[in-house]
Amino acid sequence: MTLVHDPEVLAAMLAAPPPPDPTPPPVGDIATRRRNATANFDMIGAAYPAVAGVTVERDVLVTADGAELALLWYQPDVTESAGGAALYLHGGGMILDLEHTGRGYDAVVRSDVAHSKVPMLMVDYRAAPEHPHPTPAEDCYAALGWLAERAGQLGVDPARLAVVGDSAGGALAAAVALMARDRGCPSLALQLLVYPMLDDRTTVPDPQIPVEGMVWTYDDNRTGWGALLGDRAGGPDVPSYAAPARETDLSGLPPTYLDTGDLDIFRAEIVGHAARLAAAGVATELHVYPGCPHGFEMLAPAAAVSRHAVDNRVRRLQALRDDATAE
């Protein structure tokens, strides 16, 4: 039986303007995907509910190989006491940076900070194919180190740090959590993974998911993983810091929140990852939202299911402010 779209989400998708290049691009066509994505994220940024009470400071992260990456520190105007903070890793299929997605993610992160009262750091990590694995993951881990090292001067409790990410950013957040565990620092209180892109082997179409209205397609997925991994994509030697679904030992990771729509091609890999986390003794919360494709809450922020999903994420973020851990 084929699944169907949530009516409110579908109505918002149908009302959106067509992309600059409406013909689906072939596998490997990154230029067209970047043009279309830029228009889409500009639209998201313009349409996302406006919020007040958040200030943004800019800084620069100098990486070990000498690159200078933009950092954006989002902070609520009113803070009660030193609480936690999160590193937010934006999505973009492994091939988009903030040049393409920035207007949309500025709106999303402002909203998350305004509603949770938890400050967030966003880094403009380098994207593939110009910068294949391990550069994006190492950039993100370096940004987490920057946040941990400056926790005191930022008014942040270093025992209440989280990594947050959606889509490709969710994969990078999961990778950073693995890196922090394996390298022994910094300690994390939460990984919050929003429809994360975890597995390079997701290439066979799910017959339950309708092709019509598919926001992130299997051709897109092959393109993104191919850009990141080259010929290794789908093969036997893909490292788990690139594709976290490849990790065989999930013990010792922080409490984890995951969500996905049931019309997302990542659904099976996310549900499977959540089950393996729970089996490894990790406190795990999973939500699967009926009728929702990839990126549903950005495309239809006013839909009831979108508001519910965002409220659940904010609830977990607020634990960073209120408690010693996010369990």
What residues are labeled active site? 167, 264, 294
Q: How many residues does the chain have?
A: 327
Long-range CB contact pairs, 141-145, < 8 A, 24+:
141/175, 141/176, 141/179, 141/180, 142/61, 142/63, 142/64, 142/69, 143/61, 143/69, 143/71, 143/87, 144/87, 144/176, 144/180, 144/186, 145/185, 145/186
Return d(Cα 279, Cα 273) in angstroms, integer.
Answer: 10
Strand 120-123, strand 83-89: pairing: parallel
Return d(Cα 217, Cα 213) in angstroms, integer.
Answer: 10
How far out from the chain centre does Cα 28 lie? 22
41: Cβ contacts below 8 Å, ≥ 6 apart: 100, 101, 102, 103, 104, 105
Beta strands in the chain (DSSP E): 54-62, 68-76, 83-89, 120-123, 156-166, 190-194, 256-261, 284-289
Strand partners, 54: 76
